Structure 1
């Protein structure tokens, strides 16, 4: 029995030694790695643009300043209105008061307010309500129908909050703006948008230059403020583009530089001193350039130069292409008229022009507008003394370009360039201002009566219905 136990122990010990030797000297070593939770992998964007969080602009300060400086303008006009049955039987008409409303912007602490001409036009009584609900009677200091700007004055017993003017030439497309006004009699309404375009002409005559924005503007906003995010005035809200009469996406404002020049003229001179460059022409594009036979497709092509204008005196010629005005690039005619609209008679502008393929810089002094496009006739200008003397006329204006549509008619009757117009609708005409006033005062049903001296020195009268 003892021999068996000894044999088992020896066998077990031998097995243990053999296994130990195998583990130490023969079996390959294994490495054990302690695993820990993996760190969250960093996923990098494929774009190399910094993905910074977008911070929305803060309009609160600008809105607060503008709201306190924008007023509610109420225009009361007296009209006969539609006759009632009682009026018909009594043979009388009863005057009726009609009210229109709009907005205005206080521009200094003394109570001067800028608004649209169409807001206060034909008014018999004007009142202005401030944001603190105090109401004052307002007087018209002056207005300019051409730019649709008017200046009002109220007498308040305290200094009033006001907005300061910004340089509208520096406003950028895509810049945030606020429209502040009183749409639908909802006082102190603020809407936000961006500048969609600049130098926008709605008339098709290149005589306007609006700032276009997508800030919501509705009836009643007219005359209100368009301000930047600093609360500075960059425009006077004036018009909307709509087929329904209400806002559908775009609105238009008179640039602050033009509005400021108009009211400064009204305050200083009592009227608006419009300076002109003295050219006519059009914006270049591929089609127009091909028609003219030139390679340039950008700029303003000078088609004609007004006699004795600043442009003529400075040496601007037909065929010149205006590239810049005061270092501002011009690509359409409204760019040019918009910049000049902020200037006055006697101001000097710097033009960069292309002539025969080379660039030139020319300084032009703006002159007073002495030309006018007269319906059915064409362009006329103030006559010089020698013009009147040649036709033995004591007064009148000179035709410088006949209306293309009616040119043959006039020429058949002995009327051509140089003819003197002495009277319009029985009003003696001494200047283009007199002619413009006579046309404006003519009713829609009244014929146009023109008295002139033809090329043969004969006085003739023409009636147009």
Structure 2
């Protein structure tokens, strides 16, 4: 079975399509609620605040078949007339055509004056957006702003009278097993109610940097995207956004953007026309068990700083490459992917207390948080590092404990691995395919920059660091290695793997 995330708001043109749907959420309580006798009263109250969204845009295409009859064919004149009538030039030259493509989705009203929330992918690329209310009145909608990173968009209509609306709930209180109800516009049918439970929390489906989806088994299908997921108090705890399905239809695995993320994004779009997020200025990576062991951390948690942006908030606060961020603004960083969301949701300009792990002990620093700009990104320029074998470089040394061959960088190696003149460090020239280093992702052409938090400039310093770690009885050694994707820390096992 293949996994597919389908997009109900886009035209279906292939076997796999991207669909976004909703997840269920509920207000938590000390004890589980009993199953409701009926969802009818709640559905009747909430249906008027859920809308159908239709979009259209001009799409370029080409008319006519991609073939020609040969010169002299009895069908040549007929073929030419057909092409010209369909907007193509003589001799079958293809002229561009445009047609208006339409798509359907869902949304919900959050204020009586006509603010409507939906998914970004529902309205992405549209030049016309219209909203159909529960009483079948259709109004043109204006796009106030959108956020592709969380897949949230805010629209505005101008109603003649106050509209029914729904309130945000607290998705953080939603518990696995709570009942939830989704309302939306599946397949353009409008006003459809489905119910289920919250199946899981904190799902990462690789849709964006702030993934933290609620999973639900309430039926979600194409067209449900942008619709609300309600708890049993009738409050919105999620925006239906995506489904897991091999066919495009509901199989009981849907995902919703939690209100804890969506509400703040919507408020910022409403105030500024765009989301405003905190910025720390670090590139981070997962703290693996091997990395935790190599730095003396009892538990593998937090986010390891692989690189620090020059003159960014982290650099100004003294955060260094190799630090592990354990807490941010009083919140424990359970995993690497948790930190970007915590930072993004923190008030810009706030003086934030950060707890680090450095040199085998905890350290506290204070960071004045900056604002994330759209062009603020890592320098992820990749280097072309061909792995073809050539003559053995002078000074090449085998480090059996790591399953690596390393060498000092010389002109021959700069040319072979396409290195710049200012590249420093120790280059990996070969990796034993049966070694733990190969398993962790170390490749020929990678540059060893640090060993046990000490800069290394030649092979002898790498060998010295490895021996010192072995003499200290360590099972792993921490190394900072420049890979094709940028600098990254590796906790390398000091044992040759059995073949």
TM-score range for the pair, normalised by the shorter chain length: 0.5 to 0.7
Bigger Rg, structure 1 or 2? 1
1:292, distance to aligned residue in structure 2 (A)? 5.3
Q: For 1:224, which of 209, 224, 227 is the aligned residue?
A: 227
1:226, distance to aligned residue in structure 2 (A)? 1.7
**Cα distance in 1 between the residues matched to 2:354 and 2:99:** 54
Unmatched 5+ residue regions in structure 1? 1-51, 379-406, 418-465
**Cα distance in 2 between the residues matched to 1:295 and 1:305:** 25
* Aligned residue in 2 for 1:56: 35
The answer (yes or no) to whether the contact 1:105–1:225 under 8 Å persists in 2 is yes
> Kindly tell me: are residues 134 and 408 of structure 1, through their superposed partners in 2, closer, same or farther at Cα, counting changes over 3 Å?
farther
> Kindly tell me: are residues 342 and 64 of structure 1, through their superposed partners in 2, closer, same or farther at Cα, counting changes over 3 Å?
farther
**Cα distance in 1 between the residues matched to 2:64 and 2:134:** 39
Cα-Cα RMSD: 3.3
> Kindly tell me: are residues 412 and 154 of structure 1, through their superposed partners in 2, closer, same or farther at Cα, counting changes over 3 Å?
same
Matched, 1:278 2:281: yes
* Aligned residue in 2 for 1:439: none
1:82, distance to aligned residue in structure 2 (A)? 4.4
**Cα distance in 2 between the residues matched to 1:215 and 1:325:** 35
The answer (yes or no) to whether the contact 1:261–1:343 under 8 Å persists in 2 is no
- Counterpart secondary structure, 2:165: coil
* Aligned residue in 1 for 2:10: none
The answer (yes or no) to whether the contact 2:144–2:269 under 8 Å persists in 1 is yes
* Aligned residue in 1 for 2:84: 89
> Kindly tell me: are residues 347 and 170 of structure 1, through their superposed partners in 2, closer, same or farther at Cα, counting changes over 3 Å?
farther
The 5 A counterparts of 1:205-244 are: 206-244=209-247
Q: Which moved more, 1:314-323 or 1:156-165?
A: 314-323
Q: For 1:185, which of 185, 188, 198 is the aligned residue?
A: 188
**Cα distance in 1 between the residues matched to 2:150 and 2:84:** 45
- Counterpart secondary structure, 2:190: coil
* Aligned residue in 1 for 2:49: 69
Higher relative contact order (CA 8 A, sep 6+): 2
**Cα distance in 2 between the residues matched to 1:210 and 1:75:** 25
Unmatched 5+ residue regions in structure 2? 1-30, 66-80, 89-94, 384-413, 425-499
1:74, distance to aligned residue in structure 2 (A)? 0.4
When normalised by structure 2's length, the TM-score is 0.59
Measured against aligned partners, the alpha-carbon deviations of 1:170-211 in whole angstroms (never above 9, x if no partner) come to: 333333322221111121222223333333322287543322
The 5 A counterparts of 1:394-413 are: 412-413=419-420
Matched, 1:346 2:349: yes
Measured against aligned partners, the alpha-carbon deviations of 1:70-115 in whole angstroms (never above 9, x if no partner) come to: 1100011222444146773232555322210001111111101111
Q: For 1:372, which of 367, 371, 377 is the aligned residue?
A: 377
**Cα distance in 1 between the residues matched to 2:32 and 2:279:** 49
* Aligned residue in 2 for 1:38: none
**Cα distance in 2 between the residues matched to 1:323 and 1:373:** 22
> Kindly tell me: are residues 198 and 70 of structure 1, through their superposed partners in 2, closer, same or farther at Cα, counting changes over 3 Å?
same
> Kindly tell me: are residues 135 and 358 of structure 1, through their superposed partners in 2, closer, same or farther at Cα, counting changes over 3 Å?
same
The answer (yes or no) to whether the contact 1:199–1:338 under 8 Å persists in 2 is no
**Cα distance in 1 between the residues matched to 2:82 and 2:239:** 42
Q: Which moved more, 1:119-128 or 1:367-376?
A: 367-376
The answer (yes or no) to whether the contact 2:58–2:101 under 8 Å persists in 1 is yes
Matched, 1:201 2:177: no
Counting matched residue pairs gives: 338
> Kindly tell me: are residues 258 and 322 of structure 1, through their superposed partners in 2, closer, same or farther at Cα, counting changes over 3 Å?
same
Q: For 1:155, which of 155, 158, 161 is the aligned residue?
A: 158
The answer (yes or no) to whether the contact 2:150–2:210 under 8 Å persists in 1 is no
The answer (yes or no) to whether the contact 1:200–1:210 under 8 Å persists in 2 is yes
When normalised by structure 1's length, the TM-score is 0.63
**Cα distance in 1 between the residues matched to 2:120 and 2:32:** 45
The answer (yes or no) to whether the contact 2:169–2:236 under 8 Å persists in 1 is yes
The answer (yes or no) to whether the contact 2:61–2:99 under 8 Å persists in 1 is yes
> Kindly tell me: are residues 95 and 321 of structure 1, through their superposed partners in 2, closer, same or farther at Cα, counting changes over 3 Å?
closer
Measured against aligned partners, the alpha-carbon deviations of 1:388-419 in whole angstroms (never above 9, x if no partner) come to: xxxxxxxxxxxxxxxxxxx98997455779xx
Matched, 1:141 2:121: no
**Cα distance in 2 between the residues matched to 1:415 and 1:67:** 64
* Aligned residue in 2 for 1:337: 340
1:375, distance to aligned residue in structure 2 (A)? 6.1
Measured against aligned partners, the alpha-carbon deviations of 1:253-274 in whole angstroms (never above 9, x if no partner) come to: 2222322222222222222222
The answer (yes or no) to whether the contact 1:410–1:416 under 8 Å persists in 2 is no
- Counterpart secondary structure, 1:266: helix
**Cα distance in 2 between the residues matched to 1:77 and 1:104:** 19
Comparing both structures, which one devotes a greater share of its residues to helix?
Answer: 1
